[in-house]
Amino acid sequence: MNGNLTGDGTNTYTWNTRNQLTGISGSTTASFLCDALGRRESKTINGTATNFLYDGLNIEQELNGTTPTVNYLTGENIDETFSRTDSGGAESYLTDNLDSTLALTSSSGAISTSYSYEPYGNTTASGTSSTNALQYTGRENDGTGLYYFRARYYSPTYERFISSDQMGLIGGINTYAYVFGNPVNYADPLGLYCLSAAAINGIAGSASGALAGGAALAELGPVGILAGAFVGGVAGGAIGYFSSPALGNQVALGAVGGGAEGLNAPISGVVGGAVGGAASYGAQQLGAPDSVSGPIGSTIGGAAGGAVAPALDGIAGGAAAGAVEGGAIGAASGAVGAAVAAGLTAGNNCPCGRGP
């Protein structure tokens, strides 16, 4: 069966021609069904059936037949889940850098269920009993001794996958190995390759930055979309890798938008937009509402745009940063900030060489 585990002395495993696990029999009885995209459409564990509704690769809802039983609030990143809501109410996830769930908290902030893990994922739960399956690295613990890692199933007991790597020996001589023997620093959200937490952030930042960049230049037609997606993807990916996808997205959006609006002075527009996006993100992280973070970002972005070019260039960049980050009010405040900064540096660009 192409190297798929068919039995372990306790359970017997059944596979289809696409090397997808379809059933378990023995001490545990289970069956699984996948959709045309390879996502797990349903599972039945010891007689209890659960269906799934997805947003991309992330689960958005669990259902009993057609009746929703659990709703999830997820982020842009793969396996980024903020909360779950079932008949008992809403609970929030506390996770580590690899998206492993450390605890579930109630609406009051009290910890209801805690999870601890051995390096390779053997899991111990304590506190209030929960049906939450999103545990080690954010993946699904089926209660069968296996975790569902999308393309493959993983056994924390054996510290390996129970089917062979689809890439064959390209992924390494041990085609069942999990994250090259380094589970403390890496995760494998798809069951196909390992990623560090920084790489996961970088990919997410690149994707969101490319989308934001393409959208920002959509009015310029296909060439604008491609250019925006390229610039946004590079900026978002780099900043996401070293920081966070959300920051990468805002900096990429600001940079692309600033460059588009300040076409006569694109360098200043890009700089002003990027700095404005970063400043706006920082203000948001400190708890400032959009009505405050927008003007802050646009003003600082405008000043940065004005500092690198003549007055007109700076005003264009500042207004662009403001428009992207704070709407009309932000655009106006960005232009003002840029004008002030440009005025302070204009003397350095005048023919006589004198300052103000």
pLDDT of residue 343: 46
How many Cβ atoms are within 10 Å of 118's Cβ, its own excluded?
12
* Strand, coil or helix: 181: helix
pLDDT of residue 201: 60
pLDDT of residue 313: 46
Token pair for 153: 């199933």
Which amino acid, residue 177?
A
Residue 163's region, left for phi above 0, alpha for psi from -120 to 50, else beta, is beta
First to last CA, the chain: 80
Location of structure tokens 């492993």: 100
Q: Concatenate the DSSP letters of all residues of 243-266 into one string.
A: S-HHHHHHHHHHHHHHHHHTTTSH
> Which residues, in sequence order, are CB contacts of 105 under 8 Å at separation 6+?
91, 92, 94, 111, 112
Location of structure tokens 């696990």: 21
pLDDT of residue 309: 54
Whether residue 302 contacts residue 333, with contact meaning beta carbons closer than 8 Å, is answered with yes
Residue 289 burial by Cβ neighbours in a 10 Å radius (0-12, 13-18, 19+): exposed
Residue 320 burial by Cβ neighbours in a 10 Å radius (0-12, 13-18, 19+): buried
Report the b/e string of 157-167 with b at 16+ CB within 10 A.
eebbbbbbbee
| pLDDT (tens place) for every residue of the chain, 356 residues total | 588 999 999 999 999 999 999 999 999 999 999 999 899 999 999 999 999 999 989 999 999 999 999 999 998 888 999 999 999 999 999 999 899 999 999 999 999 999 999 999 999 999 999 999 999 999 999 999 999 999 999 999 999 999 998 877 766 788 999 988 889 988 899 898 766 555 656 665 565 556 555 565 566 666 655 665 566 556 656 655 555 555 555 555 565 555 555 445 555 565 666 676 677 767 776 777 766 766 676 667 666 666 655 444 444 455 554 444 444 444 445 444 544 444 444 433 333 333 33
pLDDT of residue 101: 98
